[in-house]
Structure 1
Amino acid sequence: MHGPQVRPIIGLTTYLEQSRTGIWDVRASFLPQVYFDGVTQAGGIATLLPPQPVDAVVAARVVTGLDALVLTGGVDVDPATYRADPHPETDPPRPDRDEWEFALLHAALERRLPILGICRGIQVLNVALGGTLHQHLPDVLGHSRHRMGAAVFTATEIAITPGTRLASLLGDRHQAQCHHHQGIDRVADRLMVSGQDADGLVEAVEAPGGDFVVGVQWHPEERLDDLRLFAAVVDAARTCGSSGRND
């Protein structure tokens, strides 16, 4: 059980990709530093969760060591997980990462851990709970402003839904850093929309009720001068641990 000053442990999912460093060119698990900087600067302890063989027992064992779960960005979710054929612009499937993150998410929901989904993470959250995705937004919206180019983040104004948890954290408007070509189509029944952009695209969702389950389509880790989302999940994790929910 945590005391009020103890730093909670925040698990962050990671990439698993071919990676070159020095003389090595190997499959490697990694995560951009800005993600765990966001957690540590907000008062948490970051621990990384690389994709690996998983079942419900393994996932449950992992989340017993966490106070919150952050689902990070990365490659597209496999369309087969929401019963769709792949679009030509959709990334090749990464079933190892999809299965790992879906299992961790369900285990975290079962234990009522705080959950924050970022970019791919909001899509994992939505699909795992029964929702679907737009696979290539230019086909839907007629423009590419959500992903202007490689490593180019687009400033996007988000209208936050009044009365939501997100509104209590960010107010009624938020300038977000976006880099995505996919987005939420049908929202899962267990989620509600808490933010949209000028096109009406869903940019944030959350679970109604008292548990902290929030997903944002943008990248809060790209603006660490604004730690409100990281601080919120860390604060929720501290409260969760103090309540004995992990015992």
Structure 2
Amino acid sequence: MMKVAVSQRVDVHPNRDERRDALDQRMVQWLCHAGCMSVPVPNGLVSVGHDAGCARLVEWLDAIEPEAILLSGGNDLGEAAERDVTERFLLDFARERHLPVLGICRGMQMMGVWGGAGISPISGHVRIRHLLCGAVDGEANSFHTMALRECPQGFSVLARSEDGVIEAMRHDELPWEGWMWHPERELNFSARDIARVRTLFGL
């Protein structure tokens, strides 16, 4: 199975004074269905603020030797600084090594911001289904309150929703894609999504 490093959300538990990393079990199942083994990436290996650094994360990644990277959903950008730093570094790491990357929802937004795009609040995209228009078509779920204002430089739009929101994009040179829908939240995993991630990851 292909080894995929998967970013995690940060859940804060103030009563216990804990910041916990978390990953939806369905994401692990979805990747397994696609022929991939999930390796959750800890957010606690980076330092933030004036002494920001990723040396421990570099050591961890060198030991794990991931073959692809998935930036998962959950948390808004700016909500958990350690996750933002971790995911930005994962994109730098993937670019340097030409690794495949899939960004899911927030993960696609991170790819966009990393590429120089902005994000803005939107309405009408939470707990609904809509049709995709473009190179990727069909129906998709929607669970996001933020969206890219424009396609980042070096990327191309793969799909938009009926109201024009960018729902999928790909890098023009690297094996990277971003999807705003959550493939892991489908009751029955979509054959379209499984086929697409397998192609992206070279399986």
TM (normalized to structure 1)? 0.71
Q: Following the alignment from structure 2 to structure 1, what is the Cα–Cα distance between the partners of residues 55 and 201?
A: 22
Query: Which one has a larger percent strand, Structure 1 or Structure 2?
Result: 2
3-state SS of 1:46 partner: strand
Aligned to 2:69: 69
3-state SS of 2:83 partner: helix
Residues 61-117 of structure 1 deviation map (CA, whole Å, 9 limit, x = unaligned): 444410110000011112xxxxxxxxxxxxxx3111101110111111111111000
Alignment of 1:46-195 (within 5 A): 46-54=38-46, 55=53, 57-64=55-62, 65-78=65-78, 93-134=79-120, 136-138=121-123, 145-147=124-126, 153-161=127-135, 167=136, 173-195=137-159
Aligned to 1:244: none
Q: Following the alignment from structure 2 to structure 1, what is the Cα–Cα distance between the partners of residues 55 and 194?
A: 28
TM (normalized to structure 2)? 0.85
Q: What are the ranges of 5 or more consecutive residues in structure 2 without an aligned counterpart?
A: 47-52
Once superposed, what is the RMSD of the aligned Cα atoms? Answer: 2.3
Q: Following the alignment from structure 1 to structure 2, what is the Cα–Cα distance between the partners of residues 220 and 31?
A: 14
Decide whether the 8 Å contact of 1:12 with 1:71 is kept in 2. Answer: yes
Larger Rg: 1
Considering Cα pairs closer than 8 Å and 6+ residues apart, tell me whether 1 or 2 has the greater RCO.
1
The AA in structure 2 aligned to 1:72 is: S
The AA in structure 2 aligned to 1:113 is: L
Q: What are the ranges of 5 or more consecutive residues in structure 1 without an aligned counterpart?
A: 1-6, 79-92, 139-144, 148-152, 162-166, 168-172, 240-247
The size of the alignment, in residue pairs, is 194
Q: Following the alignment from structure 2 to structure 1, what is the Cα–Cα distance between the partners of residues 67 and 149?
A: 30
Q: CA deviation at 1:235?
A: 4.9
Q: Following the alignment from structure 1 to structure 2, what is the Cα–Cα distance between the partners of residues 157 and 235?
A: 22
Indicate whether 1:216 and 2:190 are aligned: no
Go from structure 1 to structure 2 and tell me whether the alpha carbon gap of 1:236 and 1:184 turns closer, same or farther (over 3 Å shift): closer
Q: CA deviation at 1:133?
A: 0.6
Q: Following the alignment from structure 1 to structure 2, what is the Cα–Cα distance between the partners of residues 184 and 48?
A: 26
Go from structure 1 to structure 2 and tell me whether the alpha carbon gap of 1:227 and 1:49 turns closer, same or farther (over 3 Å shift): farther
